[in-house]
Amino acid sequence: MSTVHSGAARPAIHAIGGQFSSLTPLLAPRSIAVIGASSDPTRIGGRPIAYMKNQGFKGALYPVNPTRPEIQGLKAYASIADLPEPPDVAIVAVPANIAVQAVSDLAKLGVKGVVMFTAGFAEVDEAGERAQSAMIAEARQSGMRILGPNCLGVFDSRLGYYATFSSSFDSGWPVPGRIGIASQSGAYGTHLYTLARNRGIGASLCVMTGNEADVTVGECIGWLAENPEVDVIAVYAEGIREAPGLIAALTAAKASKKPIVMQKVGRSELGGKAAKSHTASIAGDDAVTEAVMAEFGVFRARNSEEMLDIAHTATRKIYPVRNTLGVITVSGGAGVLISDVAEGLGLDMPEMPQDAQDKLRALIPFCAPRNPVDATAQVTNDITLVNTFTESMVRDGGYASVLGFFSMTASSKRWPAIREQLNPVMKAHPDRLYVLSVITPQAGRDELEADGWVVHEDPTRAVVAIDAMGRYGAAFAAPPPAAPPSVPQIALPAATPTEAEAKRLLAEAGIASAPEAACDSAETAVAAAEGFGFPVVMKILSPDILHKSEIGGVLLDIADAASVREGFALLLERAKTAAPHARIEGVLVAKQLKGGVECILGIHRDPVFGPMAMFGLGGIFVEILKDVVFRRCPFGVDVAEQMIRSIKGAPLLLGARGRQPADVKALAAMLARLSVFAHQAGPALQSIDLNPVFAMPEGQGAFAADAVIEIGG
Amino acid sequence: MSTVHSGAARPAIHAIGGQFSSLTPLLAPRSIAVIGASSDPTRIGGRPIAYMKNQGFKGALYPVNPTRPEIQGLKAYASIADLPEPPDVAIVAVPANIAVQAVSDLAKLGVKGVVMFTAGFAEVDEAGERAQSAMIAEARQSGMRILGPNCLGVFDSRLGYYATFSSSFDSGWPVPGRIGIASQSGAYGTHLYTLARNRGIGASLCVMTGNEADVTVGECIGWLAENPEVDVIAVYAEGIREAPGLIAALTAAKASKKPIVMQKVGRSELGGKAAKSHTASIAGDDAVTEAVMAEFGVFRARNSEEMLDIAHTATRKIYPVRNTLGVITVSGGAGVLISDVAEGLGLDMPEMPQDAQDKLRALIPFCAPRNPVDATAQVTNDITLVNTFTESMVRDGGYASVLGFFSMTASSKRWPAIREQLNPVMKAHPDRLYVLSVITPQAGRDELEADGWVVHEDPTRAVVAIDAMGRYGAAFAAPPPAAPPSVPQIALPAATPTEAEAKRLLAEAGIASAPEAACDSAETAVAAAEGFGFPVVMKILSPDILHKSEIGGVLLDIADAASVREGFALLLERAKTAAPHARIEGVLVAKQLKGGVECILGIHRDPVFGPMAMFGLGGIFVEILKDVVFRRCPFGVDVAEQMIRSIKGAPLLLGARGRQPADVKALAAMLARLSVFAHQAGPALQSIDLNPVFAMPEGQGAFAADAVIEIGG
């Protein structure tokens, strides 16, 4: 019987007392109990023990099994009560009917973490959900954290810690490295690290959160952000269930300049359905998650390959604040392709300085020295020109990122000589990002990676990864956002207010509407209209009719007094027909604004992230093109203006093609104030629609022409 | 000295007398001369000989070298005149100053094809361009075809034919297979087939066209379409220089149901610049090439990996006319991801029939049988369930394409048993497309490919490739387009006509404008306006002022007679100020159309493809969102309607969200007539802008409100 390694040195992570340190016993334990330990190394309760023995976990390992004194050569304990000490973590690998009691026993013993493989809880039915809730409630009382249930667990190859029953180690062990993976899906988490391993990409640590009854993927991100052994965080998410942990995690990662790359699925309606049946939880709205990612500079990867490309590139820790790309190639065709991709991403490829171009052309008359720099096959005649050209690009061109396209040359006999010419450039200028697009077997790739190159076989993928580094750089360097404007605290009514009342509330918050008057007779309406000047808009005024245009309750382009009288009668008639029991308070007469750009400003309360502000251009832009942007409330005018400028239709507001620019400042102020209003309003506020808002020409303000505030329960 | 293999059996391709058969001696020769043959197998004139000896070219090989009687063990000839017979093809590997004479001598000898490695022609300077033109002119007289100059040549591994000096064979020989590659770039062409080879994808044939002085990439596509040894065509293009060959090629490929996948670069402005300095030719407009590809069902790949994914998948020759995807997975997470990708592409994933779902749920209570079908890890307990589930999907679900996500399970010990359960389904239903997303070394992948699976490691890439097969299927099955409408032949004026004259010409072609009158006095203008009814539009009328709105020459919303008089004076005043020497013919008064949707219809003469029609929505849609579609002229109303429905803003015309549908039939008829008008007009027609065109509500027609016809030289 072998000895367990007790009292080994604590990993560095144990010294960290960060805000996510409650996860440390769970994710980096010094001692481990396995409840339901099996002698069979292929069974769920046997695998973790077999893996940790094989990989040399340096800590105590306590199998718990009521019938066997020894498990896989280790002394076993008959029950939790028999354990010689409370372990940092307990792996629970017994069926659900026993597992609940085990968790209770572990909590009483003072165990700080449980990795719970056991399935049969919230993912199955309501009874399972109730059992899960009760179990978590008890665990929380004792301060114990639970990963899962129904999870594939966690491993950290550098600790030899394998609290997982994944069979993926059949085909090999993880490559040690500074990428940490957090995944809501067990199968996809192991898929990812297997891909990484097969590419020789170092990802030591992978945590898979399963049902997330307690520990969420957000908290795991936060713990990785605080872990000094992790530089880059890769995340696979299906739906965010809890906001504070995630927000704190993203804040911590950004503060410590650790890039996060995230694959978020459940984007589609179809995906949303599948997510629901899979995760036993409602996936957060995709647009909302996207907005939160954008807020913190998280890169959203389109697929697993892109995620690993970016995570791997990021381990070089070069994040240019202003990224520029210089390309050295021996193929004009690849240069064109690379330029296309860079242009599509908005990655700048400035030309080489003219004098540097002239010098290069003096060396190879038919070269293309602009950028991409095509040195042509001529360099094979004088191999030192590879150095001359590349050095000139870095020194004279000053590019933050350099991409060399050498394709299958890297498999040729000339390659060692070329490599010798390239490497000194990298050593002379270590502050740049160096990427090679080459075709070479894994061994050749490993050599180049050891030199300091990032190797991507495909040039398109190389450019995407390079561009991502600049996006991280810009996000890390961004000044802290301005404070949200101060807006008076406004008491919301108990029920959804009328349009006039809604506008009055918004006016208190400094959000202007078009001049208007609530009129209870045709004659007061005429007087109001004449006061504003024609044309005017007329709308039915009723607390019971929320969507006025659906019942024909809005009249536009009313041009004279006679039409106001006609309109007044018509609106009352339509309201009576469409909603016979609605309380009718009269008609709202408003000045019809001309010459502005129609926008929509809105608030939507997300069940996870709370009030989210939306901005878009009005009409077809929102309805058909979905050209909108979201942001968590509250925020300041700087963020509001970034939002406005980020939509595709922004040129309409900014004065494209001879148009008069709209009052973007006023619009941004309105949006920021709306975000504060929504934030202060509390959970009773369900939604706000300001649609349309007219952004008038520069200096003339922005005015809501309609307002709906929905109070809910 | 070894014997040359003379008089070997002709490859099958020689029996084909297709429209591209003039390329057969060049691309599939029986006998080859090498002009500038070298004894050094690493030199440009030595490599083809070394390669063909190594790979067993079954035909005559004649080295030509003035100083050596023997080259690499073959009898050499001192000059072209000394050759024992005119070879099918001659490889020219001598410097430019000698090469021109050699080509001339070869033409006189009656050689039918030349592969010209020699650089120093149009890609260098104008003198080079002149020399190239003269050389081609002489070759054409004798019916000789030239590949290049400045090209990397061609190879067909199944013939052992290597008319190329690419060094890429240092790292291995091509994998034989039924993909043919045509590339304008030599370096990128070899990059592509090297990628294919490394993935075990069979691409026997690769032709690289270099300067395209004679043979174009279009013709090469055509020859591949007629080659019975090729099923799938992969193309890398930088700019199409010649239309008839390409159009004939795409027509031939579509008729023989050979899918084409194309990577077209030079998309960006930046890329365009690089393409110019690289290829010594002006790249065709990217939007135009895109339109031609769409017309023929060519799939445009975003990168090389996607190109190979799709080409490889296409070699299974399953092109569903109505594609549907069924997914079997052991990971819910992957199911969500796959659903997202399918939804994004518009690939349908119908649910399994309810009774089939019930049956599967009876077998594994916690499975998700809808689609994706998540059989869960439960199947590892009863492995035959893998067969039951998959068989039910194919039989009961009836999916055209089946994707299995098994990730690293394919590297596990259980995999052989799972594979045995999967394969019978494929054998029982051979008409479906079967794809696996698995992580397995090349050997395991090769086994699965041999079984009949297409293997893509990444599930996202798998879905993209599956979707592409349905796009091919739909394109192949599409009914032939309707005949273009009959439009009278209309004589164009010698110079750019006025707006009124342009509208008269268009009216002859059956293209209606808003009612209007040319007026030479304020009083005739008032009379015209009163005749049409207010409001009216007024525009300056001058053959010398093309873009009226730029000088303030258009007045909208003229509501009464007094305003017409004012407007008349104002327009004349503005014209005089802005263009003092313009001939002013008066003012055009037109009925202002209300309630229609603003569109733009245009014609642009592309230097390669001739007149191209454009359709888009007016205003910001064209200016800011570039939401337009192009198509070669002429075409019928069916194509016109497809164009209209294909733009993002189409819902605006089709009556989305309670809008009245526009008269799409009238709009399509106008667009088709415009395409015929432009086609019949001949090369003097430079462009037409109908902007705006008002598509009125259904049944009320479509009318051009402005028309500019540009006649050019």
pLDDT digits (tens, 9 = 90+) for B352-393: 999 999 999 999 887 889 999 988 777 777 889 999 999 999
The whole-number average pLDDT for the span B292-297 is 95
Average pLDDT over residues A573-582: 89
Q: What does the pLDDT look like over A330-364, one tens digit per residue?
A: 777 788 899 999 999 999 999 999 999 999 999 98
CA dihedral B403, B408, B410, B413 (to 10 degrees): -150
Q: Which CATH class is domain A515-591?
A: alpha beta
Instruction: Among A187, A266, A460, select the one facing B407 at the smallest CB separation.
Output: A187
- pLDDT, residue A136, reads 95
In chain A, the percentage of residues whose pLDDT exceeds 90 is: 73
Which chain B residue is nearest to residue A124, measuring alpha carbons?
A: B366
Q: Helices in B533-591 by DSSP H: which ranges? A: 561-578
A149 upstream amide cis, omega within 30 of 0:
yes
Q: Which of the given ranges, A84-88, A621-625, B170-174, B540-544, has the highest pLDDT on average? A: A84-88
| Integer CA distances (angstroms), A681 to A4, A503, A545, A674, B525, in order | 57, 15, 23, 10, 60
Ramachandran region of residue A655, left (φ > 0), alpha (ψ -120 to 50) or beta? left
* pLDDT surpasses 80 at B654: yes
| Predicted confidence (pLDDT) at residue A206 exceeds the cutoff of 80 | yes
Tell me the mean pLDDT in the region A111-139: 93
Degrees (nearest 5) of the Cα angle B347, B615, B705?
Answer: 145
Task: Give B194 to chain A, closest Cα distance, Å.
Answer: 7
pLDDT tens digit string along A358-411? 999 999 887 889 999 988 777 777 889 999 999 999 999 999 999 999 988 888
Per-residue pLDDT at B446 exceeds 90: yes
C-alpha–C-alpha distance, residues B463 and B459, integer Å:
6
* Every domain range in chain B assigned CATH 3.40.50.720: 1-151
The 10s digit of each residue's pLDDT in A184-196 is 999 889 999 999 9
Q: Which of residues 105-134 of B touch A (CB under 8 A)?
A: 124
Given CB atoms, is B269 within the 8 Å cutoff of chain A?
Answer: yes
Q: Do B340 and A188 touch (CB under 8 A)?
A: no
Q: CA nearest B537: which of B521, B549, B545, B546?
A: B549
Q: How far away is chain A from the Cα of B188, in angstroms, using its nearest Cα?
A: 6
pLDDT the model gives residue A428: 96
Q: What pairs with residue A253 in β-bridges?
A: none
Pick the CATH number of B166-315 from 3.40.50.620, 2.20.25.160, 3.10.20.340, 3.40.50.261: 3.40.50.261
What angle do helix axes B96-109 and B126-141 make, rounded to 10 degrees? Answer: 10
Report d(CA A117, CA B45) in Å as an integer: 66
Other beta carbons within 10 angstroms of residue B619's beta carbon come to 16
Per-residue CA distances from A633 to A245, A617, A650, A677, B400 (Å): 17, 20, 21, 9, 46
**Distance, CA of A192 to CA of A172 (rounded, Å):** 14
B90-99, B146-155, B512-521: least confidently modelled range: B512-521
Give per-residue pLDDT as tens, B562-602: 999 999 999 999 999 988 888 898 999 998 887 789 999 99
| Bridge partners for A606 per DSSP | A610
User: Cα(B409)–Cα(B392) distance, rounded to whole angstroms?
Assistant: 21
Burial (CB count <10 Å: 0-12, 13-18, 19+), residue A580: exposed
Note the pLDDT of residue B1: 41
Q: What is the pLDDT of residue A13?
A: 54
Cross-strand partners of A518: A588
pLDDT of B206 higher than 80: yes
Q: Which of A25-34, A266-275, B661-670 has the lowest mean pLDDT?
A: A266-275
Q: Which helix (H) or strand (E) holds B138?
A: helix B126-141
Residues 6+ apart with CB under 8 A from B217: B182, B183, B184, B209, B235, B237, B240, B246
Specify the pTM: 0.89
Query: Residues spanned by CATH 3.30.470.20 within chain A?
Result: 597-711
Give A493's pLDDT tier (boundaries 50, 70, 90).
Answer: very high
Residue among A624, A633, A630, A659 nearest A642 (CA): A630
Which residue reads 């892109």 in tokens? A306
Q: How many CB atoms lie within 10 A of CB A111?
A: 28
User: Of all residues in chain B, what percent carry a pLDDT higher than 90?
Assistant: 73
pLDDT averaged over every residue in chain B: 90
Which chain B positions have a beta carbon within 8 Å of A273's beta carbon? 339, 370
Contact A568, A545 (CB under 8 A): no
> In angstroms, rounded to a whole number, what is the distance separating the alpha carbons of residues A485 and A482?
9
Q: What is the SS3 assignment for A218-244?
A: HHHHHHHHHCCCCCEEEEEECCCCCHH
Chain A residues closer than 8 Å to B266 by CB: 336, 340
Whether the per-residue pLDDT at B432 is higher than 80: the answer is: yes
How much of chain B, in percent, has pLDDT values that exceed 70? 94
Q: Are A179 and A196 in contact (CB under 8 A)?
A: yes
By Cβ distance, the residue of A303, A331, A648 closest to B188 is: A331
Paired strand residues for B588? B518, B539
Q: Are B190 and B222 in contact (CB under 8 A)?
A: no
> CA B66 → CA A152, B1, B4, B163, B304, distances in Å?
73, 18, 20, 20, 43
- Taking 70 as the threshold, does the pLDDT of residue B15 lie above it? no
Mean pLDDT of A57-64: 96
What would the mean pLDDT of A647-670 be, rounded to a whole number? 89
**Backbone torsion region of residue A619, taken as left when φ is above 0, otherwise alpha when ψ lies between -120 and 50, otherwise beta:** left
Q: How many residues does chain B have?
A: 713
Whether the upstream peptide bond of residue B372 has omega within 30° of 0, thus cis, is: yes
What are the structure tokens assigned to B549, written together?
A: 């709105």
The pLDDT of residue B626: 78
The shortest CB-CB distance from A620 to any of B238, B270, B649 is to B649
Mean pLDDT, all residues of chain A: 90
pLDDT at A2: 43
Shortest Cα distance, chain B CAs vs residue A278, angstroms: 6
Tokens of B401: 């394409």
CATH 3.40.50.720 fits domain A1-151: yes
Query: What's the mean pLDDT in A404-423?
Result: 91
State which CATH number among 3.30.565.10, 3.30.420.10, 3.40.50.261, 3.90.1150.10 fits the domain covering A325-477.
3.40.50.261
The backbone torsions φ and ψ at residue A605, rounded to the nearest 5 degrees and listed phi first, read -85, 115
Residues 426-455 of B with CB under 8 A from A: 439
Burial class of residue B75, CB neighbours in 10 A (0-12, 13-18, 19+): middle
pLDDT-derived band at A8 (thresholds 50, 70, 90) equals very low
CATH 3.40.50.261 placement within chain B: 166-315, 325-477
Closest CB to B652 among A267, A275, A620: A620
Chain B nearest-CA distance from A458, in A, is: 7
| CA–CA distance, B144 with B268 (Å, rounded to integer) | 36
Would an 8 Å CB–CB cutoff place B381 in contact with chain A? no
Residues in A 270-299 with any Cβ partner in B closer than 8 A: 270-271, 273-275, 277-279
Q: Is B274's CB within 8 Å of A335's CB?
A: yes
B655 reaches A (C-beta below 8 A): no
User: How many residues comprise chain A?
Assistant: 713
Please give the Cα distance from B52 to B87 (Å, whole number). Answer: 15
Residue A455 has pLDDT above 60, yes or no: yes
Please give the C-alpha separations between residue A501 and each of A70, A543, B64, B116, B430, in angstroms, as whole numbers.
75, 9, 95, 81, 67
Question: What is the mean predicted confidence (pLDDT) over A633-652?
Answer: 95
**Cβ pair A123, A93 in contact under 8 A:** no
Helix (H) or strand (E) holding B249: helix B243-255
Q: Which of residues 536-575 of A touch B (CB under 8 A)?
A: none
Rg (CA), chain B: 31
Across B91-103, b (16+ Cβ under 10 Å) vs e yields: bbbbebeebbebb
Class of domain A597-711: alpha beta
Collect all residues of chain B within an 8 Å Cβ-Cβ radius of residue A625: 625, 648-649
| Spatial CA neighbour of B191 closest among A119, A387, A411 | A411
> Could you read off the pLDDT of A384-396 as tens digits, one per residue?
999 999 999 999 9
Give me the half-sphere count of Cα atoms (radius 13 Å) on the Cβ side of residue B635: 22
Angle at A255 between CA A254 and CA A257, to 5 degrees: 60
DSSP state, residue B17? -
* Cα-trace Rg, chain A: 31
Indicate yes or no: CB of B343 within 8 angstroms of CB of A270.
Answer: yes
Distance of alpha carbon A710 from alpha carbon A698, whole angstroms: 31
Contact B332 A187 (CB under 8 A): yes
Q: Do A342 and B266 touch (CB under 8 A)?
A: no
Residue B114 pairs with which residues in a beta bridge?
B90, B146
- What's the pLDDT at A403? 98
DSSP B445: H
